[in-house]
Structure 1
Amino acid sequence: MTRLWNEPADFADDMVDGFVRANGRWVRKVYGGVTRSTQAAQPEVAVVIGGGSGHYPAFAGLVGPGLAHGAAMGNLFASPSAHQVESVARASHRGRGVLLSYGNYAGDVLHFSEAQEALRKDGIDCRTVTVTDDIFSAPPQEAEKRRGIAGDLTVFKVAGAAASLGYDLDGVERVARLANERTRSLGVAFTGCTMPGAAEPLFTVPEGRMAIGLGIHGEPGLDETDIPTANGLAELFIEQLLADAEVPGGASKSGGRVVPVLNGLGSVKSEELFVVYARVADLLESAGLTIVDPQVGEFCTSFDMAGVSLTLLWLDDELERLWLAPADTPAFRCGAVDHASLTPTADDADADERANVPSASAASSEAARRIAEFLGATRETIDEHADELGRIDAIAGDGDHGIGMQRGARAAAAEAEALVELGAGAGTLLSRAADAWADRAGGTSGALWGVILRTLGERLGDTEAVSPEGVRDGVLSASETVRSYGKARVGDKTLVDALVPFADTLAARVDEGASLPEAWEAAAQAATTAAERTADLMPGLGRARSHGEKALGVPDPGAVSLALIVTTIAALLSRGERTDVAR
C-alpha cells in the first residue's frame, strides 16, 4: 500500500512540488503541471502530454529535450482539467503549434478537447493524437475505442523527437499517429493498488490468480487466470500481441523490427522483469523479429500495483530514427543531447485568479451567497457518501469516483465562500466554482460538473435576480451541453441518465406554475428514481463499458452522486427561507 503522505487530499500537490524541486534541470512548475526549464535555440512544435497523477514516470518524468515540452498533471488517477491543459500548452508554445497527446480515457478526451478548442480560438494551431495501445480494451475493428497504457511512451517519444528535429506540426502529428498505429500493449496484475490514505485497494485479485487486461487506473482486468511462471507470462504476452494484428500499422510481422517495452506497474521488481524479458526476447527472435533498443523498467505505473505490461512498437526506417534520437528527461534518456544550445526558459508570473471580480447587483450577490450555501451542503453530502460512491465505482470502473467528487465539491465550496466575501454575483461565483471543481476533481465527473455549473452561471449572470424561469433555462441548457460535450445519451449508464429527467421534470413543473422549491423537489425525486434504475443498464460509455456484465445490478456512480446533490439542495430550498434563489 501507499504509506507516505501528509494529507491524502494534498498528495498530488505535494508530489508536484517535490518533483519540480528535485528536477529543476529539466522542468519548471506552471499552473496545471510542468513545462521545460530550458528551450532549444530554434522554436519547436510543442508536444504537450498529460493525464492523472499516480503513474510516474508518466507523465511529468517524460518532459525534457527530445521528448515532451510540457505535461498537464491531474489529481490522482484523474485527468487534468481543460483549464490546466490550456495553461501548460500556452506555457510550452513557441509559435509553431501544439500537439496534445494522452491516453484514450473519457475524462482526458473531454478536458484536452476543450483545451484544444480554447487554443484554436486564440489562433494557436493545436492537434491531438490519443494513444490507443491496450489490445484487451476493445477488439481490432474498434481500435479507436482502446485505452492508452504504457504505449504512451512510444508515441510521446516519437513525437518529441520529430519536434526536436524540426518537423512542422503536420509532420509531428503524422509520425505520432503512425507510432500509435504500430504500438500494441497488454497488461496483467497480481494485486490492486491503494490510494494514499485509503484503507483498501481499488480492486483485489484472488490469491494465486492474475488479472489480464487491466487499466493503469486500477480498472479490474477483463480476464483472470492462475499466475503463470515468468516464461508462461512472456508466452501469454507474445501470443496475444502478435495475434492482435497481422500487419499493425502497415508493419510486416515476418522480418519486422520491434521495440519491446517491458513495464513494471509499481511493485514488481526489476529482477523479476529481467527474468520475464529473457523469454520475451527468445520468443520475438523465434518469430523472426529483430529487437531494437529494448526497454525494461518502470515507464507507466499505478502506485503500488503488482503488475507488468508489455508494449511492442513496430518500426519502419523513420520511426526507428526517431525512437533512437537523443532525449534527456528526468526518467528517460538516450543518446547525447546538445545542452550547450539550450537556454533557460523565463518564468511567467501566475495571475491572481480572483482578481477583478465583476460588479454584481445586490440581488445577484444575495443569490450567490445562497448558492455558496448549496455548495457547502454539497461538500458535506459528498463527504458522507464518498466511500459508497467509490465502492460502486470499483465494481466496474476504477473506484475513484467518490474521491474525485470529494475533491471537486470541496474546491468548489471553498472558492464560492471566498467569492461571497468579494461580493461576486451568481454568474461569476458559479463560473469560478466550476473551474475549481474541474481543476481539482479532473476526470469525467470533474469535466461534467464544471460544464453544469458554468452553463448555469452563464444563464443566471451577475445582474438579474434569480427566478424559477432562469434556473429552468440554465438547467435545461446544462443538460443539453453535457450531452453534446460528453456524447452520452439516456441509457448509456452515465450521469446523463439522472440529469435529463431532473432537467425535464424541473422545466415541466416550473412551466405549470410551481415554485422553485416545489419544482426542484419533484425533479430531485425523478433524478433519484432514474439513478436507481441505472442498475439495470449496460454501460455504453466510459471505463465501465469494457466490463460489460460486471456493471449489471450496480447503479452508475455519476448518476447516484447527481441525485444525492440535487436532493440535498431540494432540502435546503424547501426550508422556505426568503431568498431570491428560493422564491
Structure 2
Amino acid sequence: MTRLFNDPAAFADEALAGFVAAHRRWVRPVTGGVVRAGGTPAGQVAVVIGGGSGHYPAFSGLVGAGLAHGAAVGNVFASPSAQQIRTVAKAADGGAGVLLMFGNYAGDVLHFGQAADRLTAEGVRAETFAVTDDISSAPAAEHTKRRGIAGDLPVFKAASAAAEAGLPLDEVIAVAAHANARTRSFGIAFSGCTLPGAGQPLFTVPEGRMAVGLGIHGEPGIGEEALPSADRAAELLVASLLNELPDGVDAPRGRRAAVILNGLGSVKYEELFVVYHRVAQLLEEAGVTAVEPEVGELVTSFDMAGVSLTLTWLDERLETLWTAPADTPAYRKGAVAAPTEPAAAAEPAEGAETEDVIPDATPASRQAAETAAAALRVIAATVEEHADALGRIDAVAGDGDHGIGMLRGATAADTAARTAHERGAGAGTVLHRAADAWADRAGGTSGALWGTILHAVGDALGDTERPTAATVSAGVTRACDEVRRIGGAQVGDKTMVDVLVPFADTLAVETAAGARTAAAWDRAATAATTAAAATADLLPQMGRARPHAEKSLGTPDAGAHSLALIVRAVHGVLTDTTGEN
C-alpha cells in the first residue's frame, strides 16, 4: 500500500512538485503538468502526453529530448482536465501544432478532446490520438474500444521521434497510428493497488491465484488462474500476444519487435529478469528478434503486483524511431544534446490567465445565485457522506475511484460557487465557476460530465433574469443533451445517462403541466432514484467497467447512483429557499 503521504487529496500535486524539484535539468512546471526545460524548438510539432497520476514514469517522466515535449498530469487515476491540458499544450507549442496523446479511457478522451477544441479556437492547431494496445479489454474486431497500457511508451516514442525529425503534424499523426496498429499488450496481476489514504486495495486476488488481463487503474482482470511459476507467466504472456498478430504481420518468424516487460509497481527488477529470461527464449523460438528490449517499471499502478508484456512489430521506419535517442528523467537511450537549463522557474506567459472579472448581474440573479451556491454546498456534503460507498460500488467492475473523484470535484465546485457568490456574481456565473472548478479538480469522466451539466444549467439561468421552473427545466434538458453528445452513452448503457434522461424528462413534463420548481424537481428526483436502482440489472456498454460486465450485475452504476443522490439532496435546498412543499 501507499504509506508515505500527507493529505491524500494533495498527493498528486505534491508528487508532481517533488518530481520537478528533482529533475529541473529536463523539465519545468506549468499549470497542469510539465514541459521540457529548454522548450520546444521553433517549427517543431509538440507532442503532449498525459493521464492520471499513479503511473510513474508515465507521464511526466517521459518529457525530454526525443520523447514528449510536455505532459499534462491529472489527479490519482483521473485524467487531467481540459484546462490543464490546454495550458500545458500552449506552453509546449513550437508553432507547428500540437499532438495530444493518451491512453484510450473515457475521461481522457473527453478532456483531451475538449482541450483540442479550445486550442484550435485559439489558433493553435491541435489533434488527439488515443493508444489502444490492451488486447484483453476488447476483441480485435472492436480494437478502437481497447484501453492503452504499457503500449503507450512505444507509440509515444514513435510519434515523438517523428516530431523530433521535423515531420509535419499530419505525418506525426500517421506515424502514431502506424505504431499503435502494430502494438499489442497483455498483463497479469497477483494483488491490487491501494490509493493514498485508502484502507483497502481497489481489488483483491485470492491467495494462490492471479488476475488475467488487468487494467492499469486497478480494474479487475477478465479472469483468474492458479498462480504460475515465472516461466509459466512468461509463456502465458507471449502466447497471448503471438495469438493476435497485427495486419501485415503474417507470421512471427523473421520479424523484429520492440519488447517491453513492464512491472506494475511491486514486482521487483530481479523477478522481472527471471520472467524475461523465458520471454526471450520463447520469442527466439518463435523466430522473433527483440530489438532494444526494455525490462522495468515504465507504466505502473502504485503498489500493484503484476506484469505486462508489450510487443510492437517493427518495420524499417518504426525501428528507426524506436531506436532513436531520447533523454528524459525516466527513459534514456543513445546520445542527445544536453538539455538547456531553464532561465527561471517561473511559469511562461503562455500559462498565465487573464484577469478574473465577475460579470455584472441583476439583483434577481444574485438572489438566485444564493440558491445555486447553497445547492453546491449540499452537493459537496452529500458526496462526502457517500464517497466511500461510491468507491466500493465503482470497484465492483471499475477502478474504484468514483467517490474520490466526485469528492474532489464537488468540494472544488462548492468553494468556487461560494467565492463567486460572495463577489456578487449572478446564478449563471456561479454555476459556470463551479463547473470549471469541478472539471478542473476532478478530471476523469465524471469531472468532464459534471462540468458539462453545471455549465449547461448556468447557460440557461444566466445573470439577468429570475429563474423560473421552465428555465431550470430547459437547462437540465440541455445538460442531458450535452452529456449524451460528448460522452456518447445512451439509455441502457449503464451510465449516469440512465438517470439523467428520466430526471430531465420528468422535470420537463411536470414543469409543462404547471408544477412549481420544487414540486417538479421532487417528482423528477424520485424518477432518478428508481432509474438508478434499475441500473443494477444492466450490463455496462461503455467505460472501464465494460470488459467486466458480468461482475457488475446486481450492482448499480456508481455514476448513476451519485447523480440520484445529488438531485434528491438539491430538492431540499429548493424547498427551503422557495418555500414550496
Deviation at 1:23?
A: 1.1
Q: How do residues 311-330 of structure 1 correspond to structure 2 at under 5 angstroms?
A: 311-330=310-329
**Distance between the aligned counterparts of 2:355 and 2:383, measured in 1?**
26
Determine helix, strand or coil for the equivalent of 1:416.
helix
**Distance between the aligned counterparts of 1:41 and 1:194, measured in 2?**
40
Deviation at 1:39?
A: 2.7
**Distance between the aligned counterparts of 1:566 and 1:533, measured in 2?**
17
Q: Does the 8 Å CA contact 1:78/1:442 hold for their aligned counterparts? A: yes
Q: Which amino acid aligns with 1:266?
A: G
Deviation at 1:124?
A: 2.1
Q: Which amino acid aligns with 1:418?
A: T
Matched, 1:130 2:130: yes
Q: Which residue number corresponds to residue 362 of structure 1?
A: 363
CA deviation string 1:266-309 (max 9, x = no partner)? 01100000000000000001101111101000000000101101
Q: Which residue number corresponds to residue 143 of structure 2?
A: 143
Q: Which residue number corresponds to residue 11 of structure 2?
A: 11
CA deviation string 1:318-373 (max 9, x = no partner)? 11111111111110011111127888598325545771111111111121122111
Distance 1:21 1:238, change over 3 A: same
Q: Which residue number corresponds to residue 520 of structure 1?
A: 521
Determine helix, strand or coil for the equivalent of 2:72.
strand
Q: Which residue number corresponds to residue 561 of structure 1?
A: 562
Q: Which residue number corresponds to residue 110 of structure 2?
A: 110
Determine helix, strand or coil for the equivalent of 1:147.
coil
**Distance between the aligned counterparts of 1:416 and 1:14, measured in 2?**
25
**Distance between the aligned counterparts of 2:98 and 2:41, measured in 1?**
18
CA deviation string 1:192-212 (max 9, x = no partner)? 000000001000000110001
Q: How do residues 97-246 of structure 1 correspond to structure 2 at under 5 angstroms?
A: 97-245=97-245
Q: Which amino acid aligns with 1:12?
A: A
Q: Does the 8 Å CA contact 2:388/2:403 hold for their aligned counterparts? A: yes
Q: Which amino acid aligns with 1:262?
A: L
CA deviation string 1:46-71 (max 9, x = no partner)? 10110111000000100111100111
Q: Which amino acid aligns with 1:466?
A: P
Total equivalences in the alignment: 579
Distance 1:576 1:413, change over 3 A: closer
Q: How do residues 486-505 of structure 1 correspond to structure 2 at under 5 angstroms?
A: 486-505=487-506
**Distance between the aligned counterparts of 1:354 and 1:565, measured in 2?**
33
Deviation at 1:574?
A: 1.9
**Distance between the aligned counterparts of 2:438 and 2:352, measured in 1?**
19
Q: Does the 8 Å CA contact 1:248/1:314 hold for their aligned counterparts? A: no
Distance 1:257 1:373, change over 3 A: same
Deviation at 1:576?
A: 5.2
Distance 1:111 1:191, change over 3 A: same
Q: Does the 8 Å CA contact 1:451/1:478 hold for their aligned counterparts? A: yes
Q: Which residue number corresponds to residue 260 of structure 1?
A: 259
Q: Which amino acid aligns with 2:361?
A: A
Q: Which amino acid aligns with 1:129?
A: F
**Distance between the aligned counterparts of 1:340 and 1:140, measured in 2?**
41
CA deviation string 1:213-252 (max 9, x = no partner)? 010000000011011110100000110000012x445575
Q: Which residue number corresponds to residue 376 of structure 1?
A: 377
Q: Does the 8 Å CA contact 1:182/1:251 hold for their aligned counterparts? A: no
**Distance between the aligned counterparts of 1:490 and 1:362, measured in 2?**
39
Distance 1:432 1:340, change over 3 A: closer
CA deviation string 1:547-567 (max 9, x = no partner)? 121111110110100000000
Determine helix, strand or coil for the equivalent of 2:95.
coil
**Distance between the aligned counterparts of 1:249 and 1:44, measured in 2?**
31
Distance 1:557 1:410, change over 3 A: same
Q: Which residue number corresponds to residue 417 of structure 2?
A: 416
Q: Does the 8 Å CA contact 1:30/1:87 hold for their aligned counterparts? A: yes
**Distance between the aligned counterparts of 1:388 and 1:33, measured in 2?**
31
Determine helix, strand or coil for the equivalent of 1:293.
strand
CA deviation string 1:417-461 (max 9, x = no partner)? 111121111111111111110111111111100000011111111
Determine helix, strand or coil for the equivalent of 1:396.
coil
**Distance between the aligned counterparts of 1:380 and 1:251, measured in 2?**
58
Q: Does the 8 Å CA contact 2:185/2:309 hold for their aligned counterparts? A: yes
Q: Which amino acid aligns with 1:428?
A: T
Q: How do residues 250-329 of structure 1 correspond to structure 2 at under 5 angstroms?
A: 250=249, 253-329=252-328
Unaligned runs of 5+ in 2: none
Deviation at 1:181?
A: 0.6
TM-score normalized by the length of structure 1: 0.97
Q: Does the 8 Å CA contact 2:371/2:574 hold for their aligned counterparts? A: no
Distance 1:515 1:353, change over 3 A: farther
Determine helix, strand or coil for the equivalent of 1:35.
strand
Q: Which residue number corresponds to residue 460 of structure 2?
A: 459
Sequence identity of aligned pairs in percent?
60
CA deviation string 1:164-217 (max 9, x = no partner)? 111111111111111111111011110000000000100000011000101000
**Distance between the aligned counterparts of 2:54 and 2:341, measured in 1?**
30
**Distance between the aligned counterparts of 2:41 and 2:492, measured in 1?**
53
Q: Which residue number corresponds to residue 432 of structure 1?
A: 433
TM-score normalized by the length of structure 2: 0.97
Deviation at 1:43?
A: 2.9
Q: Which amino acid aligns with 1:540?
A: Q
Q: Which amino acid aligns with 1:483?
A: R
Q: Does the 8 Å CA contact 2:264/2:299 hold for their aligned counterparts? A: yes
Q: Which amino acid aligns with 1:86?
A: R
Deviation at 1:82?
A: 1.2
CA RMSD of aligned residues (A): 1.6
Determine helix, strand or coil for the equivalent of 2:576.
coil
Determine helix, strand or coil for the equivalent of 2:188.
strand
**Distance between the aligned counterparts of 2:232 and 2:561, measured in 1?**
42
**Distance between the aligned counterparts of 2:16 and 2:530, measured in 1?**
41
Distance 1:126 1:225, change over 3 A: same
Unaligned runs of 5+ in 1: none
Deviation at 1:6?
A: 0.7
Q: Does the 8 Å CA contact 2:365/2:463 hold for their aligned counterparts? A: yes
Q: Does the 8 Å CA contact 2:24/2:341 hold for their aligned counterparts? A: no
